[in-house]
């Protein structure tokens, strides 16, 4: 078969989807009819053992295939002086679509996961309200709920790139982002019931974990789209994600979505919690710091091919990845195979929801030479994902929160994919 000349859409092998489809039909048609003829006449078709007997019956709570058990969250080191503290990262390079399975949602805990009996747990609303209220878990289940698909990202995600760390995978460098359908009660419903006084400008949210983690949410956000989430992808929020309830602040840095939520106090000023003073503030090169940096940036990441993978043959690969923005939906994602000299627009696979992961894909022909794969997201507000150099020029390297810069994956002549800096 003569090699088809693909329509190039950018340098170093990025090709047009339409032309690839045309080839796919002809090529696989040949392959299938060839194999089928062979099977009929020569291959002694064996009935596999699992087809010869019934398997186990239905189960109370499903689990994954034992052949898929290598799919795991990646936990960092444990520190004896920080019991329960730490994070685990989603295996982004092995996931498809945009919804993170609950068992693989990333975790970030400041004092471990509390074991909360919902019948003993209350949510208090107090402070600058007409009528302080206490809700039991069963009370909250009686309210009308809303469901929204949103990403959640730790503001420390991808900080390794700013630090210039060597090596790493999509998971180890960027795995502190996940996406789920969150179902819960709009916070405005509960605040309206308590009656917010005009002087209330902030909502102090506190968790029931050993860290008593607290964050201050501006009243405008609290009344806009924040929810008290009770369900995650249809089932009760997992203990790791805040069972029995968490605050969920769409698009904003993960730590403001307080887990194991137990108190909402209306205040005139931010509460200056430990978690919003000693941490989670961005210091600029002139050593002034932003008091708060709430929305997550416009960002994308190629998840395949990605760091620590090896391409085992030349030819066509589907470059795929995820894009998201804390300020809106994803308008477009561009991909480069030559380190950002030339770009082509990727196709969006599935939905382009507001502040949710969006999956992109573009075919790429690896010719066996060197390549540098990059992706660049533009959101619905026109925010374009910056290069690492541009981000460092803007915010320096005194703090490592909010680092949505472009990831470069280098491919060498052996097909090895590594994290590189260009």
217 and 249 Cβ atoms separated by less than 8 Å: yes
b/e map of 53-88 (b: 16 or more CB within 10 Å)? eeeeeeeeeeeeeeeeeeeebeeeeeeeeeeebbbb
Size of the site for ligand MTE (CB under 6 A): 20
CB of 126 to Mo ion, least distance (A): 26
Of the candidates 259, 261, 226, the residue with the CA atom closest to the CA atom of residue 241: 259
Q: Which residue is nearest to ligand MTE (CB)?
A: 207
Contact region with ligand MTE (CB under 6 A), list: 43-51, 250-258, 360-368, 377-385: 250-258
With CB under 6 A as the contact rule, the residue among 259, 355, 376, 388 that binds ligand MTE is 259
Contact status: 401 vs ligand MTE (CB under 6 A): no
The b/e string for 243-275 (b: 16+ C-beta within 10 A; e otherwise) is: bbbbbbbbbbbbbbbbbbbbbbbbbeebbebeb
Choosing from 129, 152, 335, 356, the residue that interacts with ligand MTE (CB under 6 A) is 152
Q: By rule CB under 5 A, what string of x and - marks binding of each residue 78-117 to Mo ion?
A: ------------------------------x---------
The reply on whether position 320 binds Mo ion by CB under 5 A is no
Q: For Mo ion, which residue has the nearest CB?
A: 154
Three-class HEC string of 108-169:
EECCCCCCCCHHHCEEEEEECECCCEEEEHHHHCCCCCEEEEEEEECCCCCHHHHHCCCCCC
- Give the one entry of ligand MTE, Mo ion, none that residue 257 binds, where binding means its C-beta sits below a cut-off of 5 to 8 angstroms depending on kind: ligand MTE
Q: How far is CA 147 from the centre of its chain?
A: 18
Which H helix or E strand runs over 17?
helix 17-41
| Shortest distance (Å) from residue 132 CB to ligand MTE | 21
**Region 209-228 residues binding Mo ion, contact defined as CB under 5 A:** none
Q: Choose which of 260, 317, 324, 343 interacts with ligand MTE (CB under 6 A).
A: 260
Distances (CA, A) of 140 to 72, 118, 231, 241: 33, 11, 12, 18
First-to-last CA distance in the chain?
38
Omega of the bond prior to 305 within 30 degrees of 0, cis?
A: yes
Query: Closest separation between CB of residue 252 and ligand MTE, Å?
Result: 10
- Interface with Mo ion (CB under 5 A), residue from 92, 95, 116, 154: 154
The entry of Mo ion, ligand MTE, none that residue 354 binds, CB within 5 to 8 Å by partner kind: none
Out of 98, 169, 172, 255, name the contact with ligand MTE by CB under 6 A.
255
- Dist. CA 318–CA 228, nearest whole Å: 38
HSE-CB for 373 with a 13 A CA cutoff: 33
Residue number with CB closer to Mo ion (360 or 401): 401
The single residue among 211, 309, 333, 357 that binds ligand MTE, judged by CB under 6 A, is 211
Of these, 106, 273, 324, 343, which contacts ligand MTE (CB under 6 A)?
Answer: 106
Kindly state whether residue 293 participates in binding Mo ion, applying the rule CB under 5 A. Answer: no
Q: Which is nearer to ligand MTE, 107 or 225 (CB)?
A: 107
Q: Could you give the C-alpha distances from 61 to 64, 235, 245, in angstroms and in order?
A: 10, 12, 22
**Rounded to the nearest whole angstrom, what is the least distance from the CB of residue 95 to ligand MTE in the complex?**
15
Q: How many residues bind Mo ion (CB under 5 A)?
A: 4
* Site for Mo ion contains 254 (CB under 5 A): yes
Q: Among 270, 265, 263, which residue's Cα sits nearest to residue 292?
A: 270
Please give the angle made by the CA atoms of 405, 160 and 77, to the nearest 5 degrees. 150
Contact stretch for Mo ion (CB under 5 A) within 12-20, 220-228, 241-249, 252-260: 252-260
As a whole number of angstroms, the distance between CA 88 and CA 172 comes to: 9
Contacting range for ligand MTE; rule: CB under 6 A; set: 206-214, 266-274, 308-316, 324-332? 206-214
Tell me: does residue 257 bind ligand MTE (CB under 6 A).
Answer: yes
**Taking a C-beta distance cutoff of 8 angstroms, is the pair 364, 314 a contact?**
no
Site mask for ligand MTE (CB under 6 A), range 86-105, x = bound: -------------------x
Q: Does 109 bind ligand MTE (CB under 6 A)?
A: yes
Which residues are near ligand MTE by CB under 6 A? 105-110, 152, 154, 207, 209, 211, 213, 240-241, 254-255, 257-260
Which residues are near Mo ion by CB under 5 A? 108, 154, 254-255
């Amino acid at each position: 078969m003569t090699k088809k000349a693909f329509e190039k859409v950018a340098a170093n092998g990025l090709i047009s989807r339409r032309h690839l489809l045309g080839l796919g039909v002809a090529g696989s048609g040949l392959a299938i009819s060839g194999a089928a003829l062979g099977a009929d006449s020569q291959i002694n078709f064996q009935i596999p053992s699992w087809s010869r007997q019934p398997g186990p019956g239905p189960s109370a709570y499903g689990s994954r295939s034992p052949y898929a058990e290598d799919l795991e969250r990646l936990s960092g080191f444990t520190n004896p002086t920080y019991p329960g503290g730490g994070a685990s990262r989603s295996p982004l390079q092995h996931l498809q679509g945009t919804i993170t399975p609950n068992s693989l949602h990333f975790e970030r805990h400041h004092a471990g996961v509390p074991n909360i009996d919902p019948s003993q747990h209350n949510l208090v609303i107090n402070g600058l309200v007409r009528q302080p209220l206490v809700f039991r878990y069963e009370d909250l289940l009686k309210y009308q709920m809303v469901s929204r698909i949103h990403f959640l990202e730790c503001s420390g995600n991808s900080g390794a790139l700013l630090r210039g760390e060597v090596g790493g995978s999509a998971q180890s460098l960027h795995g502190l982002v996940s996406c789920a359908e969150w179902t819960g009660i709009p916070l405005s419903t509960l605040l309206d019931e308590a009656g917010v006084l005009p002087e209330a400008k902030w909502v102090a949210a506190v968790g029931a974990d050993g860290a008593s983690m607290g964050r201050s949410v501006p009243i405008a956000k609290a009344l806009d789209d924040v929810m008290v989430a009770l369900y995650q992808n249809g089932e009760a929020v997992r203990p790791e994600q805040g069972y029995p309830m968490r605050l969920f602040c769409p698009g904003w840095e993960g730590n403001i979505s307080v887990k194991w939520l137990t108190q909402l106090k209306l205040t005139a000023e931010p509460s200056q919690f430990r978690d919003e003073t000693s941490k989670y503030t961005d210091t600029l090169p002139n050593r002034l710091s932003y008091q708060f940096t709430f929305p997550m940036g416009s960002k994308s990441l190629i998840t395949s091919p990605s760091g620590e993978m090896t391409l085992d043959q030349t030819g066509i690969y589907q470059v795929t990845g995820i894009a998201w923005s804390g300020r809106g939906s994803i308008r477009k994602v561009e991909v480069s195979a030559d380190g950002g000299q030339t770009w082509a627009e990727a196709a969006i696979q599935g939905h382009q929801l507001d502040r949710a992961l969006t999956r992109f894909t573009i075919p790429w022909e690896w010719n066996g030479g060197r390549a540098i794969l990059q992706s660049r997201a533009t959101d619905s507000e026109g925010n374009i994902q910056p290069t690492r150099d541009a981000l460092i020029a803007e915010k320096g390297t005194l703090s490592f929160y909010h680092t949505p810069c472009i990831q470069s994956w280098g491919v060498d002549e052996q097909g090895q994919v590594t994290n590189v800096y260009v």
